[in-house]
């Protein structure tokens, strides 16, 4: 019964899917969303594109693949294949028992002289200019490229016609550009395109990418992938991923096509091609660092295959398997490092055990202008109990912005001095260090007036060890002053030194360092903490953070630290009013800012998060700063703050804002870490939808620090349903921990922690909400170290190397 074949791109694609189904044992897993949905689209396309009527005669309108038994599916698939190709299958294999077996990894001979650590220029086709572009994305070596994961996959299997687009989910659309133009999207230049197919037209918009308008010529064929929202009652693709369609795309055998982060000068196709070349050449050569018993006990995919499937998955299932394996790796390597550190720490002796001077504590307590909250009291008790042990304290103190961590730290630091020890308090910036110096010196003054010794040395005659001397040591001090403080530190003439990281990096020696407090931990690497610990013999260490981390995660990620939480706010805080505004209300927001400045107040403007790179983000902030100062607030004093400025420039900008020489500080998200400007009462956040709730909450914590009522205004250009939901939550909720939990629930922890979690190895694959995998990694790490403390056994050699590599990289980032 030989007949001729039916051909055409849609038929090709369907044949590939049928083949995939066959190889997976007819489990209806070849296409995301199931074959039935795919068939509906296929039928319409085949018909519309005129691929002979026989192409569409493969099933009746009420056919349901999902409803068939496996054997019936096999028969139908075979019949369909014959119908389309005109020939019976060469050899029909029986239904496989095992489903979703990803394709095997080819073994390749190694190239002489090139290793995983070779620069990518060692690969054919990558020259210095692409290499420098990749470097911007953090990809320098072949290994980096293997671990340069796509941020998503375009799902060709979930292709829709325009009439079938649904609001909400991610969908792929192939369409023709009718018109593309630069438009103003709520006050900012962006691109709008009208695209169409046989079933209709739809609008697509890209925020902040006006240059796309020129690239989208009329009649160009585009592949769009992303979420569909609604604007003014009409469907709209919101900042979808896009590519020009090339002739062979529709017959993509890979239903899941990776989409990589890009940077200027790198285009999707180039990147995909280069990654493909490197992955197929090098992934097979990776040696798996996980001990075999771990891999098999935890049912993990092998490393080579996982890398390959993470980039170019054969199916959503094998993609998941790959993700699980790679996520396990990340968590496991962290856990091994953390557990090793904890073991080490448990064996050391503290430089000093403090005797708790209750009378002094009571004096301090009585002197305060307020009463400790119950939470502060509890936490202080936990800390004091730690420091009175022989084992050095290693504690993480979490407390929402404004919960009153500083005063707790001050009490502990005072106790160190009363025990004849020195204390150090480190902040991430000079301004914060200065702020702490003034706050703590203010608190201590209430116990008895200070004597200004000189400049930044202050002494309290009535406080033990009579007198108590504190100093501020920052990079910008004059050399003479610096030397004087350093000398006092070595000789024991100063009891509390407050400074930046420079305290531990620039060779400051202490006579007897008993307690170290680190503020704003998330800018502070784990390795920096341990470097510090090596300074004193073994000081007690208290790390403070305002980033609320749900308890399970904190325990796991900061497994080397004990945890204290201030979960209560001091009474009588004026609530910050939070409001999200419709795109059309931007002018009203500006008017509000202007009014507050008229009243003598100040405002922050935070620019949207741009994930591609800090330099693009900085550029965008510069543009926004220019626009605001030239067009919107030409008569006001504006300042700019971004991550590409030197730390001196950053300090200068923050200082002029603090000193009221500026009315508005325009900033990238770097402003998150706590400067205290009590006179700032408006926090205006652009692109609020791009931030996590926790991060929005941190920004919000920058205002409301003085006596004036404060406001947090959220602007979002694409208030889709989900965005509205999220922004409503932050409008209503003031509790940082609740917001963190919501964040985890809504966005998953990859975004929650981001890569800014310095000092910890990058988490690219791990989702911290996956508590089960976290616990598994943790227990495997402990089990491993139980059996082989120093990872000395030969079968752990690769693993030991990997742990060292990952932690080294983490430390550099911190």
Our CB check for ligand ADP shows the closer of 229 and 423 to be 423
Our CB check for ligand ADP shows the closer of 525 and 674 to be 674
| CB 474, min distance to ligand ADP, A | 19
Our CB check for ligand ADP shows the closer of 380 and 489 to be 380
| CB 339, min distance to ligand ADP, A | 30
| CB 402, min distance to ligand ADP, A | 5
| CB 556, min distance to ligand ADP, A | 24
Our CB check for ligand ADP shows the closer of 433 and 457 to be 433
Our CB check for ligand ADP shows the closer of 351 and 547 to be 547
Can you spell out the DSSP letters for 704-722?
A: S-SSS--EEEEE-S---HH
Can you spell out the DSSP letters for 194-232?
A: EEEETTEEEEEEETT-TTHHHHS-TT-EEEEEEEEEEET
Q: Give the footprint of ligand ADP on this chain (CB under 6 A).
A: 370-373, 376, 399, 401-407, 546, 570
Our CB check for ligand ADP shows the closer of 520 and 686 to be 520
Kindly list the distances between the CA atom of residue 226 and the CA atoms of 34, 167, 237, 721, in Å, as whole numbers in the listed order: 19, 11, 7, 15
| CB 431, min distance to ligand ADP, A | 14
Could you check whether the bond before residue 181 is cis, i.e. omega within 30 degrees of 0? Answer: no
Kindly list the distances between the CA atom of residue 620 and the CA atoms of 57, 259, 351, 623, 671, in Å, as whole numbers in the listed order: 53, 23, 49, 5, 15
Our CB check for ligand ADP shows the closer of 305 and 564 to be 564
Gap between the Cα atoms of 26 and 68, Å rounded: 10
| CB 563, min distance to ligand ADP, A | 16
Number of H helices, E strands in the chain: 28, 24
Kindly list the distances between the CA atom of residue 538 and the CA atoms of 347, 410, 487, 509, 514, in Å, as whole numbers in the listed order: 11, 20, 21, 13, 7
Gap between the Cα atoms of 219 and 197, Å rounded: 11
Token pair in block for residue 230 = 């609604």
Instruction: Rounding to the nearest 10 degrees, give the CA dihedral for residues 149, 154, 157, 159.
Output: 170
Gap between the Cα atoms of 647 and 552, Å rounded: 35
Gap between the Cα atoms of 518 and 471, Å rounded: 16
Our CB check for ligand ADP shows the closer of 391 and 709 to be 709
Burial class (CB in 10 A: 0-12, 13-18, 19+), 25: buried
Burial class (CB in 10 A: 0-12, 13-18, 19+), 529: buried
Phi, psi values for residue 246, rounded to 5°? -110, 160
**Any residues with CB less than 8 A from the CB of 411 and at least 6 apart, and which?**
361, 364, 380
Q: Which residue is nearest to ligand ADP (CB)?
A: 404
Our CB check for ligand ADP shows the closer of 307 and 673 to be 673
Gap between the Cα atoms of 544 and 550, Å rounded: 15
Our CB check for ligand ADP shows the closer of 567 and 780 to be 567
| CB 698, min distance to ligand ADP, A | 10
Our CB check for ligand ADP shows the closer of 446 and 728 to be 446
């Amino acid at each position: 019964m030989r007949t001729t074949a039916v051909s055409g791109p849609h038929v090709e694609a369907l044949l590939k899917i049928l083949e995939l189904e066959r190889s997976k044992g007819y489990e209806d897993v070849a296409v995301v969303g199931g074959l039935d949905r795919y068939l509906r689209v296929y039928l319409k396309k085949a018909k519309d594109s005129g691929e002979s009527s026989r192409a569409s005669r493969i099933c009746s309108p009420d056919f349901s693949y999902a409803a068939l038994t496996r054997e019936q599916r096999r028969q139908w698939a075979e019949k369909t294949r014959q119908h389309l190709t005109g020939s019976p299958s060469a050899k029909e294999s029986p239904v496989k028992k095992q489903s979703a077996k990803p394709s095997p990894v080819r073994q390749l001979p190694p190239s002489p002289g090139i290793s995983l650590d070779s620069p990518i220029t060692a690969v054919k086709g990558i020259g210095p200019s692409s290499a420098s572009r990749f470097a911007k994305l953090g990809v320098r070596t072949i290994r980096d490229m293997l671990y340069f994961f796509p941020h998503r996959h375009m799902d060709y299997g979930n292709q829709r016609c325009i009439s079938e687009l649904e609001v909400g989910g991610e969908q792929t659309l192939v369409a023709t550009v009718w018109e593309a133009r630069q438009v103003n999207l709520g006050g900012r230049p962006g691109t709008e395109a009208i695209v169409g197919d046989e079933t209709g037209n739809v609008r697509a918009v890209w925020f902040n990418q006006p240059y796309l308008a020129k690239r989208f010529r009329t009649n160009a064929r585009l592949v769009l992938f992303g979420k569909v929202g609604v604007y003014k009652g009409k469907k709209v693709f919101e900042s979808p991923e896009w590519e020009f369609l090339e002739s062979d795309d529709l017959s993509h055998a890979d239903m899941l096509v990776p989409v990589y982060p890009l940077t200027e000068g790198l285009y999707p196709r180039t990147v995909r091609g280069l990654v493909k070349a490197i992955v197929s050449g090098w992934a097979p050569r990776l040696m798996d660092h996980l001990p075999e018993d771990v891999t098999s006990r935890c049912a993990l995919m092998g490393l080579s295959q996982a890398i390959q499937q993470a980039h170019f998955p054969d199916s959503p299932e094998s993609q998941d398997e790959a993700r699980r394996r790679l996520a396990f790796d990340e968590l496991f390597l962290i856990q091994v490092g953390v557990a090793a550190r904890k073991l080490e720490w448990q064996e050391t002796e503290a430089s000093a055990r403090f005797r708790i001077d209750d009378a002094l504590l009571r004096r301090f307590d009585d002197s305060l202008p307020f009463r400790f909250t119950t939470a502060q009291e509890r936490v202080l008790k936990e800390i004091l109990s730690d420091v009175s042990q022989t084992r050095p304290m290693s504690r993480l103190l979490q407390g929402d912005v404004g919960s009153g961590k500083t005063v707790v730290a001050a009490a502990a630091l005072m106790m160190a001095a009363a025990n004849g020890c020195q204390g150090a308090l480190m902040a991430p910036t000079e301004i914060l260090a200065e702020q702490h110096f003034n706050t703590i010196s203010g608190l201590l003054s209430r116990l008895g007036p200070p004597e200004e010794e000189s400049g930044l040395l202050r002494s309290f005659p009535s406080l033990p060890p009579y007198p108590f001397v504190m100093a501020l040591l920052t990079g910008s001090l004059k050399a003479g002053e610096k030397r004087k403080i350093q000398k006092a530190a070595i000789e024991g003439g100063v009891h509390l030194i407050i400074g930046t990281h420079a305290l531990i990096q620039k060779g400051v020696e202490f006579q007897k360092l008993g307690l170290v407090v680190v503020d704003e931990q998330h800018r502070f690497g784990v390795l920096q903490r341990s470097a510090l610990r090596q300074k004193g013999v073994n000081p007690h260490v208290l790390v403070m953070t305002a980033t609320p981390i749900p308890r399970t995660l904190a325990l796991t990620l900061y497994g080397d630290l004990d945890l204290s939480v201030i979960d209560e706010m001091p009474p009588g805080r004026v609530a910050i009013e939070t409001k999200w505004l419709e795109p059309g209300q931007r002018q009203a927001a500006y008017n509000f800012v202007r009014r507050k400045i008229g009243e003598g107040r100040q405002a922050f403007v935070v620019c949207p998060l741009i994930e591609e790179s800090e330099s693009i983000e900085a550029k965008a902030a510069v543009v926004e700063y220019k626009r605001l100062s030239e067009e919107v607030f030409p008569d006001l004093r504006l300042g700019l703050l971004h991550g590409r400025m030197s730390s001196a420039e950053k300090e200068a900008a923050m200082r002029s804002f603090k000193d009221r020489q500026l009315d508005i500080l325009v900033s990238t998200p770097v402003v998150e870490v706590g400067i205290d400007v009590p006179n700032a009462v408006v926090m205006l956040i652009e692109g609020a939808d791009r931030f996590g709730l926790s991060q929005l909450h941190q920004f919000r914590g920058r205002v409301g620090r003085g006596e004036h009522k404060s406001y947090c205004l959220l602007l979002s250009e694409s208030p889709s349903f989900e965005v509205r939901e999220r922004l409503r939550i932050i409008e209503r909720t003031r509790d940082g921990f609740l917001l963190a939990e919501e964040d985890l629930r809504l966005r998953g922890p990859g975004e929650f922690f981001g890569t800014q979690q310095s000092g910890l190895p990058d988490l690219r694959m791990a989702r911290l909400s996956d508590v089960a995998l976290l616990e598994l990694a943790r227990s495997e790490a402990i089990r491993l170290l139980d059996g082989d403390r120093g990872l000395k056994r030969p079968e752990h050699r690769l693993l030991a190397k990997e742990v060292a590599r990952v932690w080294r990289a983490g430390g550099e980032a911190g």
